[in-house]
């Protein structure tokens, strides 16, 4: 189904308690979530028919909604059940799932105290976020044109739709210049993350990653930190300055969509796709799909 617009696909989407044909899962143009960003979502991957860390994702969906001041009318257990049921109904084994909740259209303005809270869940086949060639060679990143805002200015602990506006703008600008993605700094000028993934660096056999004090502490990020610790690789969550980049040997991104993806360049600073990165790619693959833990080296 690659290349088919997402509003024209076949199948069903779970929408407010019912399974509806894919093309009928529609939102009114005056929904508050569309105009004011009062929407939260999750990205989940299923491997071999099992959704990886489903409980953590659904709990975070509920937590994100609470941060935005609304309550999802379906419990964590009900949402988990629907996600698994949707996989079966759709005949999917390896897939990506997108639960999304938003404020409806009863009130149109900044205030939306009485708006209905909607929930939809879609699932589809989706390969790697980046092409196989990019993943083998490593991604090329530019510096992002926007920075992550201070924690006092945005609800950064929520996976909220509105927080991704500057990510889209930064990624589009990087792509126009021939890069795959962009590295975002925070409001202080410290290294933060990529536009849709967390970032890690390797130096002298040790792993370094920014503290998530103004951006999302990703579920994949936490998984990879655990994998590194199992290997005895020291992990430092700390402030990382842009001028430190040239001193690192390896770099990679993590996220549900990105999985574990090596980086070969950040705006002229080059990195090798080294052994620790390859090991963590393999370990993550084994963690999510034990039967096929492989990582092919670029020739």
pLDDT tens for the 299 residues of the chain, in order: 557 899 989 999 999 999 999 999 999 999 999 999 999 999 999 999 999 999 999 999 999 999 999 999 999 999 999 999 999 999 999 999 999 999 999 999 999 999 999 999 999 997 665 655 566 789 999 999 999 999 999 999 999 999 999 999 999 999 999 999 999 999 999 999 999 999 999 999 999 999 999 999 999 999 999 999 999 999 999 999 999 999 999 999 999 999 999 999 999 999 999 999 999 999 999 999 855 444 443 33
Of 124, 151, 186, which residue constitutes the final position of a domain?
124
Of 69, 96, 124, which residue constitutes the final position of a domain?
124
Q: Which of 26, 137, 159, 297 is catalytic?
A: 159
Q: Does 35 lie in the same domain as 113?
A: yes
Known active-site residue 159: yes
Q: Does 140 lie in the same domain as 105?
A: no
pTM of the model: 0.92
Separation between Cα atoms, residue 209 and residue 254, nearest integer Å: 11
Range of the domain at 114: 12-124
Q: Does 93 lie in the same domain as 145?
A: no
Number of Cα atoms under 13 Å in the Cβ half of residue 117: 17
| Of residues 45, 40, 34, 26, the one with CA closest to residue 72 | 40
Helix (H) or strand (E) holding 149: none
Per DSSP, the chain holds a count of helices (H) and strands (E) of 7, 16
């Amino acid at each position: 189904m690659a290349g088919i617009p997402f509003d024209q696909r076949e199948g069903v989407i779970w929408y407010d308690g019912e399974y509806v044909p894919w093309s009928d899962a529609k939102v009114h143009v005056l929904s508050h979530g569309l105009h004011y960003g009062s929407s939260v979502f999750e990205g989940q991957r299923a491997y071999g028919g099992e959704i990886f860390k489903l409980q953590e994702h659904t709990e975070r969906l509920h937590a994100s909604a609470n941060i935005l001041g609304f309550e999802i009318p379906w419990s964590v257990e009900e949402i988990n059940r629907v996600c698994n049921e949707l996989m079966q109904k759709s005949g999917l084994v390896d897939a990506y799932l997108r639960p999304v909740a938003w404020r409806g259209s009863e009130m149109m303005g900044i205030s939306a105290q009485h708006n209905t809270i909607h929930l939809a869940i879609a699932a589809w086949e989706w390969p790697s976020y980046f092409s196989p060639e990019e993943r083998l060679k490593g991604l090329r990143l530019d510096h992002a044109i926007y920075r992550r805002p201070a924690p006092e200015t945005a609800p950064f602990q929520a996976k909220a739709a509105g927080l991704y506006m500057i990510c889209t703008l930064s990624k589009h600008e990087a792509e126009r210049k021939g890069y795959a993605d962009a590295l975002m700094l925070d409001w202080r000028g410290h290294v933060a993350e990529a536009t849709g993934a967390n970032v890690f660096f390797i130096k002298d056999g040790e792993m370094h990653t920014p503290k998530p004090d103004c951006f999302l502490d990703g579920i994949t990020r936490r998984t990879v930190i655990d994998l590194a610790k199992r290997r005895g690789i020291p992990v430092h969550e700390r402030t990382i300055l842009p001028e430190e980049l040239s001193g690192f040997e390896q770099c990679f991104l993590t996220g549900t969509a990105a999985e574990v993806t090596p980086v070969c360049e950040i705006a002229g600073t080059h990195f090798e796709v080294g052994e620790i990165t390859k090991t963590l790619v393999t370990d993550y693959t084994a963690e999510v799909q034990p039967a096929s833990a492989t990582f092919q080296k670029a020739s």
